[in-house]
Chain A
Amino acid sequence: MSSVEALREPQRALRFIAPIAVGLIILALWFLVVDVLHAAPRALPSPVAIVGQIADHYDIILEDMGITATNALVGLAVGAVVAIVLAALAATFRPIDGMLAPLVAAIAVVPIVAITPILNTMFGASSQFGRQYVAAIAAFVPVFVNVLRGLRQTRPVHRDVLRASGANGLQTFRVLTLPTALPYLLTGLRIASSIAVIAALVAEYFGGPADGIGTAIASYAKSGHAALAFAYVAGGIAIGLVLFLVMSLLERLVTRGRPV
């Protein structure tokens, strides 16, 4: 081990220990304020009570997590596919880019919260479609923006090399444009995955079927079951975290061996 690596080793350990330490300190403070000092408002339950609720109700929490996660994933998949297709078209044909740019800018600034009640009403109280639609719109923007950017990152010298090798358009796309854009696509997906979960969850606050993490949080918070509501919040965090980690891992896998 070189001296530089020897220096890095504690730093790497610190990278893992630091956030865990911060989390533990916050939990301890939380515990102190609620359970020892009894200084918290009624709506803030003890962390112990929340863990207890998770243990008692994990079956229904998991069930609702499944509903919300499915909505988020369907939205992410549909939004991403549409984004990739449109970005490819925009990158290939200038006029299409001109037509899409203002549309995407408009979609990017539409507050999801604003259209969700309309969509929920539009598709009815028994359909998950409105929620999935909201997640798809939310996931679309980061994927589109990143993929379009990625498709334009090919370097002139690489294009020259391929042209000089007599490569046709399809070959150029396969060996140059696509690999160049891939890290951008994965960055877009990683960002979109978190946003899709948030969108799917928030959409539940505005109607639709009486299931899912968001619906549960809203109704338990209102009926005074604060600890159970927080247990559901933990479930929501878990969905977002798992999706984010899966996407980060995918990004690592695809971009391994490449310089950043």
Chain B
Amino acid sequence: MSAVIAKGVGKTFGTKAGDVVALTEVELTVEAGEFVSLIGPSGCGKSTLLRLIADLDSATTGELEVFGKPARQARINQDYGIAFQQAGLLPWRTVAGNIALPLELHGVSKKARADRVAELAALVGLEEFVDRYPDQLSGGMQQRVAIARALAEQPRLLLMDEPFGALDEMTREYLQGELARIAADTGAAVVFVTHSIPEAVFLSDRVVVMSPRPGRITDILTTGLGDARTEALRESPEYFERVTAVREALHGAPVERANER
């Protein structure tokens, strides 16, 4: 079963200055276990599309199915986990308390919660920090806690809205590698919003290129880089080729290379 099916999805926001079309005529299918990135300039509706899939906002037009259910039902059934650019951890809860939050809300027993938290902390490499409070952690560690929380209910779909956008380049590359590993381990489908071309290419099976005014999908590129997401991939010619292809799709025309002038 496909993780996400969007048919003719559109979103219009009513503002004082009149209606703003944030997203129009989106046709997109994300298969189970597939890693799909949404990329585009500000205002292209990539975050809006993610919020529609998550049922944090509702679509104005079209149909949106998550695992064959309406988005709202999928949210209530906890079919997805989500992470944002801000880690969004509750500052009065410890790392363990934050990871356990979704489990607590769904009435999972204390013992089962503790076991799952230990598992997840190990998965994101934070075993030694479960008793810390979020403000005692670095930005990268906070984001790892947020990812662990998103994975708490073992979702088959992970929604991520620029989760590494606020991090420095080195932490970012490290966490990209970690995310690729986690996605492969859990077999979850991922919809990943980013405005970094290398990030999108490195992580994704497919890159969805979007354009603003009105927000829409202009191109979908298959990376075909295989399953191995290692640091060596970042140096490979295929990787650079895909980066160039995505860049050209974003700019709408072949990019002139310095050595071809």
Interface of A toward B, CB cutoff 8 Å? 155, 157-158, 160-167, 171, 175-176, 179, 257-259
In angstroms, Cα B55 to Cα A166, docked, is 10
Of B75, B88, B92, B133, the contact of A166 (CB 8 Å cutoff): B75
Q: A157-B88, A160-B84, A163-B75 are in contact. Are A257 and B101 (CB under 8 A)?
A: no
Contact B133 A160 (CB under 8 A): no
Contact A179 B92 (CB under 8 A): yes
Q: A161-B82, A164-B56 are in contact. Are A258 and B91 (CB under 8 A)?
A: yes
B231 is an interface residue with CB less than 8 A from chain A: no
Contact B76 A160 (CB under 8 A): no
Contact A171 B105 (CB under 8 A): yes
Q: A179-B90, A258-B133 are in contact. Are A166 and B56 (CB under 8 A)?
A: no
B203 is an interface residue with CB less than 8 A from chain A: no
Report the minimum CB–CB distance from B240 to chain A (whole Å): 35
Query: 14 pairs across A/B with beta carbons < 8 Å?
Result: A158-B88, A158-B90, A160-B82, A161-B84, A163-B56, A164-B54, A164-B80, A165-B101, A175-B101, A176-B90, A257-B92, A257-B133, A258-B91, A259-B135
> Which applies to chain B's interface (DSSP): helix, strand, loop or mixed?
loop
In angstroms, Cα B88 to Cα A258, docked, is 15
Chain B, 220-252, CB within 8 A of any chain A CB? none
Chain B, 67-90, CB within 8 A of any chain A CB? 75-78, 80-82, 84, 86, 88, 90
Of A164, A171, A175, the contact of B90 (CB 8 Å cutoff): A175
B106 is an interface residue with CB less than 8 A from chain A: yes
Instruction: Please give 4 more A-B residue pairs, beta carbons under 8 A apart, in addition to A164-B81, A165-B101, A166-B105.
Output: A161-B149, A164-B54, A164-B80, A258-B91
Which B residues are CB-close (under 8 A) to A175? 90, 101, 104-105
Report the minimum CB–CB distance from B57 to chain A (whole Å): 10
Report the minimum CB–CB distance from B126 to chain A (whole Å): 18
In angstroms, Cα B133 to Cα A179, docked, is 15
Which A residues are CB-close (under 8 A) to B91? 258-259
Of A161, A167, A179, A257, the contact of B88 (CB 8 Å cutoff): A161
B140 is an interface residue with CB less than 8 A from chain A: no
In angstroms, Cα B55 to Cα A257, docked, is 33
B177 is an interface residue with CB less than 8 A from chain A: no
Which B residues are CB-close (under 8 A) to A161? 82, 84, 88, 101, 149
B102 is an interface residue with CB less than 8 A from chain A: yes
Contact A164 B75 (CB under 8 A): yes
In angstroms, Cα B106 to Cα A161, docked, is 14
Report the minimum CB–CB distance from A162 to chain B (whole Å): 8
Chain B, 88-117, CB within 8 A of any chain A CB? 88, 90-92, 101-102, 104-106
